[in-house]
Amino acid sequence: MSRIHIQQSGIILAGGRSSRMGRAKMAIRLEGASLLARTTRTLMACCEEVLVIAAPTGSPDGVDDALQELGSIPRLKILRDPEPYKGPLPAIVQGLSEARGALTFVTAGDSPLLAPELVKGMLATIKKQPEIDALIPRVDGHPQPLAAAYRRQPMRERFIEALARGEDSPQRVLRGASLRELLPSDLRSWDPQLLSFLNINNPEDLVRARSALPQAMADSADD
């Protein structure tokens, strides 16, 4: 891996409690593959390295089972939260600190319908716009900082400073940053149904994902 020039890194946040799901959701299978495995394989198709930020080994979140499914992959690095369940901000900082690419794509591990075209498109867009440090989708009226492209070094510094102030919301950290928002009209060229933004938080989300999977696969094949 040291011989590969890393330009783009994928960061997956997989250290949540799965409390709304009621069971270890990262290992839940969707058409033969776990949620985490699906998300990981998508990022591996788009980035030279992928980092998974997970709770400590043995945590009841399903990550360990999902990682066994993935096996040993040289471009995949597993990082463990030193303090589990502290929210996404410390995990983002850990990922940005360990990533080697100048550009990163950050996503949640329960995003099994994440479109490779969206990841590639957003990374290509931020690369072409050096004046911005973050490319943030806005879906259903809300910014999506956990499905976003970041310029690693400036955003790492910004997130570290926010943690030192006691901040815990990625959305608030982004206020005042050099960023561009992408509206649904921008995003649909990469992901017509916006299924990339379907996170599996509860059983109802899982039912929706199972229903939407054929369409997501068809959209990806068309591209």
What CATH number does residue 190 fall under?
Answer: 3.90.550.10
Average pLDDT over residues 201-219: 85
Host domain of residue 64: 8-222
For residue 132, being part of any structural domain is answered with yes
CA distance 137 to 140: 10
pLDDT digits (tens, 9 = 90+) for 84-104: 778 899 999 999 999 999 999
For residue 2, being part of any structural domain is answered with no
Total domains in the chain come to 1
For residue 1, being part of any structural domain is answered with no
- Which residue from 81, 102, 103 is spatially nearest to 90, judged by alpha carbons? 81
Tell me phi and psi for residue 76, to 5 degrees: -110, 125
pLDDT digits (tens, 9 = 90+) for 112-158: 999 999 999 999 999 999 999 999 999 999 999 999 999 999 999 99
For residue 3, being part of any structural domain is answered with no
71 CB-contact burial (10 Å; exposed 0-12 / middle 13-18 / buried 19+):
exposed
pLDDT digits (tens, 9 = 90+) for 4-25: 678 999 999 997 665 566 567 8
Query: Distances from the Cα of 40 to the Cαs of 6, 72, 76, 141, in angstroms?
Result: 17, 13, 9, 27
For residue 136, being part of any structural domain is answered with yes
**pLDDT higher than threshold 70 for residue 222:** no
CA distance 8 to 11: 10
For residue 33, being part of any structural domain is answered with yes
Residue holding tokens 């995990």?
Answer: 91
Average pLDDT over residues 29-54: 94
Question: For the whole model, what pTM was predicted?
Answer: 0.91
For residue 34 the two structure tokens come to 């776990």
Q: What is the mean pLDDT of the chain?
A: 89
**pLDDT higher than threshold 90 for residue 64:** no
pLDDT for res 217: 74
